[in-house]
Structure 1
Protein backbone atom coordinates (compact mmCIF):
# COMPACT_ATOMS: atom_id res chain seq x y z
CA UNK A 1 0.00 0.00 0.00
CA UNK A 2 1.47 3.32 -1.02
CA UNK A 3 1.03 6.48 0.99
CA UNK A 4 2.39 9.99 0.74
CA UNK A 5 3.44 11.52 4.03
CA UNK A 6 3.70 15.30 4.09
CA UNK A 7 5.93 16.63 6.87
CA UNK A 8 7.07 20.04 7.94
CA UNK A 9 10.81 20.65 7.91
CA UNK A 10 10.94 20.16 11.68
CA UNK A 11 9.00 16.90 11.46
CA UNK A 12 11.30 15.67 8.69
CA UNK A 13 14.37 16.50 10.79
CA UNK A 14 12.84 14.62 13.73
CA UNK A 15 12.09 11.61 11.52
CA UNK A 16 15.61 11.71 10.09
CA UNK A 17 17.06 11.76 13.61
CA UNK A 18 14.79 8.89 14.65
CA UNK A 19 15.84 6.83 11.63
CA UNK A 20 19.53 7.48 12.25
CA UNK A 21 19.16 6.59 15.92
CA UNK A 22 17.41 3.33 15.05
CA UNK A 23 19.80 2.60 12.20
CA UNK A 24 17.05 2.26 9.60
CA UNK A 25 15.36 4.12 6.78
CA UNK A 26 12.84 6.88 7.37
CA UNK A 27 10.18 4.53 5.96
CA UNK A 28 11.06 1.88 8.55
CA UNK A 29 11.26 4.45 11.36
CA UNK A 30 7.78 5.69 10.42
CA UNK A 31 6.41 2.15 10.41
CA UNK A 32 8.00 1.39 13.77
CA UNK A 33 6.60 4.59 15.29
CA UNK A 34 3.10 3.73 14.08
CA UNK A 35 3.29 0.20 15.47
CA UNK A 36 4.70 1.43 18.80
CA UNK A 37 1.96 4.05 19.18
CA UNK A 38 -0.76 1.51 18.37
CA UNK A 39 0.75 -0.97 20.81
CA UNK A 40 0.76 1.60 23.62
CA UNK A 41 -2.87 2.49 22.94
CA UNK A 42 -3.92 -1.15 22.90
CA UNK A 43 -1.98 -1.85 26.09
CA UNK A 44 -3.60 1.18 27.72
CA UNK A 45 -7.04 -0.03 26.64
CA UNK A 46 -6.33 -3.48 28.09
CA UNK A 47 -5.14 -2.01 31.39
CA UNK A 48 -8.16 0.30 31.58
CA UNK A 49 -10.48 -2.68 31.01
CA UNK A 50 -8.64 -4.69 33.64
CA UNK A 51 -8.93 -1.81 36.12
CA UNK A 52 -12.66 -1.47 35.45
CA UNK A 53 -13.13 -5.18 36.15
CA UNK A 54 -11.07 -5.07 39.35
CA UNK A 55 -12.82 -1.95 40.63
CA UNK A 56 -16.20 -3.57 40.00
CA UNK A 57 -15.08 -6.81 41.63
CA UNK A 58 -13.81 -5.11 44.78
CA UNK A 59 -16.51 -2.43 45.12
CA UNK A 60 -18.50 -4.67 47.47
CA UNK A 61 -15.44 -5.35 49.63
CA UNK A 62 -14.75 -1.64 49.97
CA UNK A 63 -18.37 -1.02 50.98
CA UNK A 64 -18.21 -3.72 53.67
CA UNK A 65 -14.95 -2.29 55.03
CA UNK A 66 -16.47 1.18 55.30
CA UNK A 67 -19.53 -0.19 57.07
CA UNK A 68 -17.37 -2.13 59.55
CA UNK A 69 -15.65 1.06 60.76
Structure 2
Protein backbone atom coordinates (compact mmCIF):
# COMPACT_ATOMS: atom_id res chain seq x y z
CA UNK A 1 0.00 0.00 0.00
CA UNK A 2 1.38 3.41 -0.98
CA UNK A 3 1.46 6.34 1.41
CA UNK A 4 2.82 9.86 1.34
CA UNK A 5 4.61 10.96 4.49
CA UNK A 6 4.92 14.71 4.93
CA UNK A 7 7.83 15.73 7.13
CA UNK A 8 9.12 19.06 8.32
CA UNK A 9 12.67 19.95 7.34
CA UNK A 10 13.86 18.96 10.82
CA UNK A 11 12.03 15.62 10.70
CA UNK A 12 13.44 14.89 7.24
CA UNK A 13 16.95 15.65 8.51
CA UNK A 14 16.45 13.30 11.47
CA UNK A 15 15.22 10.59 9.12
CA UNK A 16 18.16 11.12 6.76
CA UNK A 17 20.60 10.88 9.68
CA UNK A 18 18.89 7.71 10.93
CA UNK A 19 19.02 6.15 7.47
CA UNK A 20 22.69 7.01 7.10
CA UNK A 21 23.48 5.52 10.53
CA UNK A 22 21.64 2.33 9.58
CA UNK A 23 23.16 2.18 6.11
CA UNK A 24 19.70 2.17 4.56
CA UNK A 25 17.29 4.29 2.56
CA UNK A 26 15.01 6.78 4.26
CA UNK A 27 12.07 4.54 3.38
CA UNK A 28 13.68 1.55 5.08
CA UNK A 29 14.63 3.64 8.13
CA UNK A 30 11.04 4.86 8.45
CA UNK A 31 9.66 1.32 8.14
CA UNK A 32 12.09 0.03 10.78
CA UNK A 33 11.18 2.86 13.14
CA UNK A 34 7.45 2.22 12.71
CA UNK A 35 7.70 -1.55 13.13
CA UNK A 36 10.02 -1.29 16.13
CA UNK A 37 7.83 1.30 17.87
CA UNK A 38 4.70 -0.74 17.21
CA UNK A 39 6.29 -3.93 18.54
CA UNK A 40 7.39 -2.16 21.72
CA UNK A 41 4.06 -0.41 22.27
CA UNK A 42 1.40 -2.89 21.21
CA UNK A 43 0.47 -6.26 22.59
CA UNK A 44 0.06 -7.81 19.14
CA UNK A 45 1.78 -11.06 18.21
CA UNK A 46 1.64 -10.32 14.47
CA UNK A 47 3.44 -6.98 14.94
CA UNK A 48 6.10 -8.56 17.13
CA UNK A 49 6.63 -11.29 14.53
CA UNK A 50 6.92 -8.67 11.79
CA UNK A 51 9.59 -6.89 13.84
CA UNK A 52 11.48 -10.14 14.34
CA UNK A 53 11.42 -10.85 10.61
CA UNK A 54 12.19 -7.39 9.26
CA UNK A 55 14.32 -5.61 11.86
CA UNK A 56 17.49 -7.44 12.83
CA UNK A 57 18.18 -4.94 15.58
CA UNK A 58 14.84 -5.76 17.23
CA UNK A 59 15.66 -9.46 17.42
CA UNK A 60 19.13 -8.74 18.82
CA UNK A 61 17.71 -6.43 21.48
CA UNK A 62 15.02 -8.94 22.36
CA UNK A 63 17.69 -11.63 22.80
CA UNK A 64 19.76 -9.38 25.10
CA UNK A 65 16.73 -8.79 27.33
CA UNK A 66 16.17 -12.49 27.94
Q: Any stretches of 5+ residues in structure 1 without a counterpart?
A: 46-69
User: What's the Cα RMSD here?
Assistant: 1.5
Q: How many residues align?
A: 44
Shift of 1:34: 0.3
Higher-RCO chain (CA-CA 8 Å, sequence separation at least 6): 2
Give the TM-score of the pair, scaled to structure 1: 0.60
Q: Any stretches of 5+ residues in structure 2 without a counterpart?
A: 45-66
Alignment of 1:53-68 (within 5 A): none
Equivalents in 2 of 1:4, 1:42: separation in Å? Answer: 24
Give the TM-score of the pair, scaled to structure 2: 0.63
Counterpart of 1:26?
Answer: 26
Equivalents in 2 of 1:35, 1:12: separation in Å? Answer: 18
